[in-house]
Amino acid sequence: MLNRRSFMLAAAAGLATAGTWAGGTTASAAAPSASAGLTDPFDLNVASKEYIREKRLFNNTILQSFAFDDVHLCIYAVQLMEGGIQLPGEPGVVSGTERSARGDMCLTKLSLSGSVLGHMYLRGFGHGASMGVEPEGDTSYIWTEADANPETGYGRAVARFPFSNGQVLDSSLADKIYVMPGSTSNRPAIDVSSGRLVVQYMLDEGNYRYRVLDLDQAKSGDLSPTYDLPRIGIADTETPQGLAVLGDYLYQMTGTHYTSESGDNPPSGRGDTYLTTVHMPTQQVVQRSKTEAGYSLNYREPEGLAIRLGVSPAQLHMGFASGVSGDRLYSFFYKPHPDQGSVTWPTVSPGAQGTDVYTIQFLLTHHGFATTADGIFGPATEASVKSFQQANGLSPTGSVSPDSWPDLIATVRQGDTNKAVSGVQHQLNKHGAALTVDGQFGSLTYNAVVDFQSGHGLTVDGVVAPTTWLYLTGTA
């Protein structure tokens, strides 16, 4: 097995030269599946909804792309590094122009409500126009372009590496896949639910293609494509700004930032951002639609597509940059998947009693906000909720609404012992189980989780991740 410093894959004959990913070929954690109705594509004409509006990443530059980790309940976003920073081993501060030419990026870890949780600096990777996150155990593995071409700053490979807060990682030390030797503008997107890796690449100027690979096979060295198709549905005059994949469908976003009213993309026209859906097996464009999401943002540049599976219905997210040079902001808007039953988080307010209150109290204690579990939403519980909301960048309303649940829940599995498990056991008992609420995730709790998941059309893995939490709390 090659070590992390030296591992490299070549695509000749569709096989790696040797070796496997450092750490073996462990399968990634199963991504939450909101329901079984994801075989059809998103409807691009569905009205968009605001998710996060005008918050800051770790650096002050423009958002490039982002992705959800639906297992560890967080978001990752990449941007080109801002100027004026000196990293270890550098003789002095480096300008933003030089960072862009080198392909130096900043990777920010965000809470589901958009608060900054950590960061990494990535030197020599590329411009980060598309990325993916693959959860594995307790670790989030990041997929992004790598090995930046010194002439353009764009990546000639894709890399997979674990997020490590505060680390500076050089592209030369990251595990890389050269999907098509000699290509550039490599941009990855992954679908953990179907185990697919899609990489955009360019061989000749303007000749862009997508290579679709089996995710686990690619990690073990087999780069034989499931599909290899031209980039269709995007005119030569358009600027690609995002890429996402779910099942057999590829989603593309194009567009540019606002100009002045006398320019070719005035704010009064609500932008030139388009979404396109491609059916990969048939290489057909199945839908194309303009989106005016976030049209009131100043500057408004489309930046990144991502699919969130840890909710029901699943969501196709679009990123937008706003603000001014030196103080850029990011916003996310989304379109819900049309073919899933809408299960929503409950709103639980002061004065409420019952199972959901018990669960909230256990979860608050699990997160360090000690709360007596008596099933009564009184003043003490309200105070704990407000403290939790303030600590997580949420509006301190004192009620647990759909905005608070995604930060409040915690993924638990067999072998865990904690207060979050007690909350799960209360919910399972609401649905007909007869468990002792002891906070121990043993075989009886595991079997009850599996039965619940099977009965609600969820991925049956015995793990209580966001979608299972959603169905436990959001269904009777």
Decide which of 339 and 214 is more confident: 214
Domain identity same for 241 and 390: no
Q: Is residue 1 part of a domain?
A: no
In this predicted structure, the answer to whether residue 11 has a pLDDT above a threshold of 50 is no
Going from the C-alpha of 230 to that of each of 201, 202, 210, the distances in angstroms are 10, 10, 6
How far apart, in whole angstroms, are the C-alpha atoms of residue 193 and residue 266?
Answer: 39
How far apart, in whole angstroms, are the C-alpha atoms of residue 464 and residue 260?
Answer: 49
Q: CB neighbours of 328 closer than 8 A, spacing ≥ 6? A: 56, 57, 60, 61, 62, 63, 79, 321, 322
| Residue 46 belongs to domain with CATH number | 2.115.10
Residue 155 tokens, joined:
């990546």
Give the percent of the chain with pLDDT over 70: 91
Domain identity same for 320 and 440: no
pLDDT for the residue 7 = 29
Residue 245 tokens, joined:
């994949």
Helices (H) and strands (E) in the chain, counts: 8, 22
Range of the domain at 368: 355-474
pLDDT for the residue 8 = 33
In tens, the pLDDT along 34-61 reads: 333 457 899 999 889 899 999 999 999 9
Average pLDDT over residues 440-461: 90
According to DSSP, the residues that pair with 328 across neighbouring strands are 323
**For the chain, what is the mean pLDDT?**
90
Q: Is residue 341 part of a domain?
A: no
Q: Which range is least confidently modeled, 161-175, 288-302, 448-462? A: 448-462
Residue 172 tokens, joined:
């030369």
In tens, the pLDDT along 263-320 reads: 999 999 999 999 999 999 999 999 999 999 999 999 999 999 999 998 878 899 999 9
Q: Is residue 303 part of a domain?
A: yes
Residue that terminates a domain, selected from 305, 336, 367: 336
Q: Which range is least confidently modeled, 8-22, 432-446, 456-470? A: 8-22
Domain identity same for 313 and 367: no
Nearest to 104 by CA among 116, 96, 112: 96
pLDDT for the residue 29 = 54
Q: Is residue 345 part of a domain?
A: no
Count of structural domains within the chain: 2
pLDDT for the residue 5 = 28
Q: What is the DSSP letter of 278?
A: E
Q: Is residue 261 part of a domain?
A: yes
pLDDT for the residue 475 = 76
pLDDT for the residue 177 = 94
Coil, strand or helix at 108: strand
Beta pairing, strands 116-123 & 168-170: parallel
Beta pairing, strands 139-148 & 155-162: antiparallel
How far apart, in whole angstroms, are the C-alpha atoms of residue 58 and residue 324?
Answer: 16
Q: Is residue 108 part of a domain?
A: yes
Query: Do residues 109 and 131 lie in contact, with contact meaning Cβ atoms separated by under 8 Å?
Result: no
Q: How confident is the model at residue 28 (pLDDT cuts 50, 70, 90)?
A: low
Domain identity same for 327 and 190: yes
Domain identity same for 323 and 372: no
pLDDT for the residue 467 = 85
Q: How confident is the model at residue 460 (pLDDT cuts 50, 70, 90)?
A: confident
Beta pairing, strands 315-324 & 301-308: antiparallel
Coil, strand or helix at 328: strand
How far apart, in whole angstroms, are the C-alpha atoms of residue 66 and residue 189?
Answer: 10
Q: Is residue 347 part of a domain?
A: no
Q: Give the gyration radius of the chain's Cα atoms.
A: 23
Domain identity same for 134 and 246: yes
Beta pairing, strands 327-336 & 315-324: antiparallel
In tens, the pLDDT along 182-235 reads: 999 999 999 999 999 999 999 888 889 999 999 999 999 999 999 999 999 999
Domain identity same for 330 and 435: no
Decide which of 303 and 26 is more confident: 303
Residue that terminates a domain, selected from 307, 336, 365: 336
Domain identity same for 312 and 372: no
In this predicted structure, the answer to whether residue 474 has a pLDDT above a threshold of 90 is no
Task: Give CA 59 to chain center in angstroms.
Answer: 19
Domain identity same for 295 and 360: no
In this predicted structure, the answer to whether residue 237 has a pLDDT above a threshold of 70 is yes
Q: Is residue 343 part of a domain?
A: no
Q: How confident is the model at residue 457 (pLDDT cuts 50, 70, 90)?
A: confident
Domain identity same for 159 and 223: yes
Domain identity same for 382 and 332: no
Taking residue 50's Cβ as centre, other Cβ atoms within 10 Å add up to: 11
**Peptide bond just before 313 cis, omega within 30 deg:** yes
pLDDT for the residue 410 = 94
Taking residue 207's Cβ as centre, other Cβ atoms within 10 Å add up to: 11
Residue that terminates a domain, selected from 270, 302, 336: 336
In tens, the pLDDT along 65-105 reads: 999 999 899 999 999 999 999 999 999 999 999 999 999 99
| Residue 423 belongs to domain with CATH number | 1.10.101.10
Average pLDDT over residues 354-363: 96
pLDDT for the residue 425 = 97
Nearest to 53 by CA among 130, 135, 114: 114
Domain identity same for 178 and 257: yes
Overall pTM > 0.95: no
